[in-house]
Amino acid sequence: DKQRSILIESASRFPPPQGVKISYGTSGFRADASILSSTVYRVGILTALRSIQTQSVIGLMITASHNQVSDNGIKIADPSGGMLTQDWEPFADSIANAANPEDLVLLINEFIKKEHIPIGGVQSAEIFLGRDTRPSGESLLEAAKQGISSIVGAIATDMGILTTPQLHWMVRSKNKGTKVSESSYFEQFSNSFRCLMDLIPREDTSSSKIVENLIVDGANGVGGEKLEELKKLVKDLVIEVRNSGKEGEGTLNERVGADFVQKEKVAPLGFSEDDAGIRCASLDGDADRLVYFYIVPNSNKKIDLVDGDKILSLFALFIKQQLSVSNKDHPIKLGVVQTAYANGASTDYLKNLGLEVVFTPTGVKYLHEKAAEYDIGIYFEANGHGTILFSEHFISWLERRINELASTSEGSEQHKAALRLLAISNLINQAVGDALSGLLLVEAILLYNGWSIQRWNELYQDLPSRQLKVKVADRNAVTTANAETVVVKPSGLQEAINIEFAKFPQGRSFIRPSGTEDVIRVYAEASSQEAADNLAKSVAEHVD
Ligand code: NG1
Ligand code: ZN
């Protein structure tokens, strides 16, 4: 039939690379950009099918996040704005690796049957496309368009150069029936920020003086550029953007960006001793991660890192306070989601606040899913990817509560606390972790508390930790259980790790195969930096 011949013809223009197996990892496909066009083309087909099946807009983002500039990748946004449903990942894997057009069409037809996708009817499909600033993005975008248009009735709408969270937000908003331009994104977040600022207690306005300028490292990527736009609308903050990716500023993710700062614990390029003590933040290459830091004076640009765990703690503490003021009797389920990479001190801190803390494997798809089980679910990876989810049920309760308080005690602390919670739900990007939206919420809470970054950092003291990666022939030879804290295969390895960390006070270590790189990651934590380094090293030797 017609559909078949279109597919066979277009697929033959995108032959897969020889001798490489491509796999859908922690958050989509990622590889050297030169081998990705067939994968992107095929994912284009997948998004068209997903859009037909869900009768909603789907997002396709071309980015490799914090990876080096020569890499690229694909992330897919489902109708809710979250990541592609895990049920479809095996299909993504299998079509990405189909050897020729005939095999590809066979796999597609089987899947269409299995999922009862009403293809070839009157159904239409729409896919929003976005890409980061990588030079390979333009031609890969073309491959995506070809994949999409090879499914009859599907159209691609190019949203241009965007951060990953902007595209996810657009998908979510479109499917909710609201405006989706880039300017509506900036408006929503800047307006909600102003709204939260207006709810800072009057007598405390002097506290705003404590919070001095903010310097942001844009990783020489798309986030820096977008922050320049956003900051024009946010009058209460003075933000200086460095590494914004302008000509001559440096290379994407090269000794800059949230991943570099978090893993190396030194200041990114473009920062100097002159900046010591100042509040700084760093975004990653597609602006879905955010960490803060400050340079320690006279330390050769060493930093004190204020990571995702601490952002999570700041958010959790603030929300818990506002909840307890706004409401005394209605039970609200507030939950916190972390991974094994969360610093042990953060978990202790959160539990001591009386919060429910749960763990999932690495990867936002798992954390997000778990957080959605609560009225308010806060999740963060230590690397700075996270957000806050508010259930619809909770939001409608909150709106009723606000109306009630407006008539009985307008302007009371209770009323204001409820309004603050509502403002947070609009200020945080609930589709996915968003460095720009997260940054505004951090800034608002620091202003509210009158806190410096140093004061914030003192919420608890991180246990020293070390991360290493070990190159192996086959990373999938390692399998894990219990949110990746226990090695199942190869047998005997977990026992060896247990023996190692038992040697160190407060020792903890785990290993797992990376979902984005061809390595085994090693994490270790102990009571001193030297001990954490040694523990990581000896565990890594067992992996080799
Ligand atoms: P992998 O390569 O699976 O460890 C990394 C991060 C994840 C997540 C993904 C997606 C660490 C240890 N891992 O995954 O948390 O952010 O990239 O970008 O930071
Ligand atoms: Zn990213």
- Name the residue type at position 245: G
CA–CA gap between residue 515 and residue 493 (Å, rounded): 20
Q: Which residue out of 71, 168, 383 has the highest number of ligand 1 atoms within 8 Å of its CB and is therefore the one to mutate?
A: 383
Each residue's pLDDT tens digit in the chain (544 positions)? 899 999 999 999 999 999 999 999 888 999 999 999 999 999 999 999 999 999 999 999 999 999 999 999 999 999 999 999 999 999 999 999 999 999 999 999 999 999 999 987 667 899 999 999 999 999 999 999 999 999 999 999 999 999 999 999 999 999 999 989 999 999 999 999 999 999 987 655 555 444 579 999 999 999 999 999 999 999 889 999 999 988 888 999 999 999 999 999 999 999 999 999 999 999 999 999 999 999 999 999 999 999 999 999 999 999 999 999 998 788 899 999 999 999 999 999 999 999 999 999 999 999 999 999 999 999 999 999 999 999 999 999 999 999 999 999 999 999 999 999 999 999 999 999 999 999 999 999 999 999 999 999 999 999 999 999 999 988 999 999 999 999 999 999 999 999 999 999 999 999 999 988 889 999 999 999 999 999 999 999 999 8
Q: At 29, which helix (H) or strand (E)?
A: strand 29-32
Token pair of 538 as six digits: 């000896």
Q: Nearest ligand, CA of residue 523?
A: 1
Question: What is the CA(363)–ligand 1 centre distance, in A?
Answer: 6
516 is annotated as contributing to ligand binding: yes
Quote the pLDDT of residue 206. Answer: 53
Residues 462, 345 contacting (CB under 8 angstroms): yes
Backbone angles phi, psi at 29, to 5 degrees: -90, 145
Q: Using N-to-C axis directions, what is the helix angle for 493-501 and 529-543, rounded to 10°? A: 160
Residues 251, 269 contacting (CB under 8 angstroms): no
CA–CA gap between residue 70 and residue 427 (Å, rounded): 33
Pairing state between β 58-62 and 71-77: antiparallel
**Total residues belonging to the chain:** 544
Our answer to whether residue 65 is catalytic in this structure is: yes
- Name the residue type at position 432: V
Mention every residue, 6+ apart, whose C-beta is less than 8 A from residue 247.
Answer: none
Sketch out the chain's domains with CATH numbers. 2-177 (3.40.120.10), 189-305 (3.40.120.10), 309-457 (3.40.120), 465-543 (3.30.310.50)
Q: Which residue out of 360, 514, 523 has the highest number of ligand 1 atoms within 8 Å of its CB and is therefore the one to mutate?
A: 514
CA–CA gap between residue 371 and residue 80 (Å, rounded): 14
Q: Which residue out of 23, 385, 516, 521 has the highest number of ligand 1 atoms within 8 Å of its CB and is therefore the one to mutate?
A: 516
Nearest to 194 by CA among 536, 528, 443, 518: 443
182 is annotated as contributing to ligand binding: no
- Name the residue type at position 136: S
Strand partners, 302: 266
Residues 322, 421 contacting (CB under 8 angstroms): yes
**In this predicted complex, what is the ipTM?**
0.97
Give 257: exposed, middle or buried? Use CB within 10 Å, 0-12, 13-18, 19+: buried
Q: At 76, which helix (H) or strand (E)?
A: strand 71-77
Question: What is the CA(159)–ligand 2 centre distance, in A?
Answer: 18
Quote the pLDDT of residue 5. Answer: 96
Q: How many Cα atoms are found within 13 Å in the side-chain-facing hemisphere of 382?
A: 23
Whole-structure pTM value: 0.96
- Would you call 488 helix, strand, or coil by DSSP? strand
Mention every residue, 6+ apart, whose C-beta is less than 8 A from residue 171.
Answer: 57, 58, 59, 77, 78, 79, 81, 128, 431
Residues 100, 110 contacting (CB under 8 angstroms): no
Quote the pLDDT of residue 120. Answer: 77
Question: What is the CA(401)–ligand 1 centre distance, in A?
Answer: 39
- Would you call 480 helix, strand, or coil by DSSP? strand
Strand partners, 59: 77, 128
Quote the pLDDT of residue 209. Answer: 47
Catalytic pick among 65, 149, 313, 509: 65
Residues 536, 521 contacting (CB under 8 angstroms): no
CA–CA gap between residue 180 and residue 168 (Å, rounded): 11
Quote the pLDDT of residue 205. Answer: 52
Pocket of ligand 1 (CB under 6 A): 26-27, 65, 341, 362-363, 381, 383, 385, 514-517, 521
CA quadruple 308, 311, 312, 317: dihedral, nearest 10 = 160
Q: How far are the Cα atoms of 223, 265, 268, 292 from residue 289, in angstroms, in the given order? A: 10, 16, 15, 10
CA–CA gap between residue 282 and residue 66 (Å, rounded): 12
Quote the pLDDT of residue 202. Answer: 60
Token pair of 370 as six digits: 């778990």
Instruction: Indicate which atom in ligand 1 lies nearest the CA of residue 65.
Output: 18
Count of helix runs (H) and strand runs (E) in the chain: 18, 19
**DSSP type of residue 482:** T
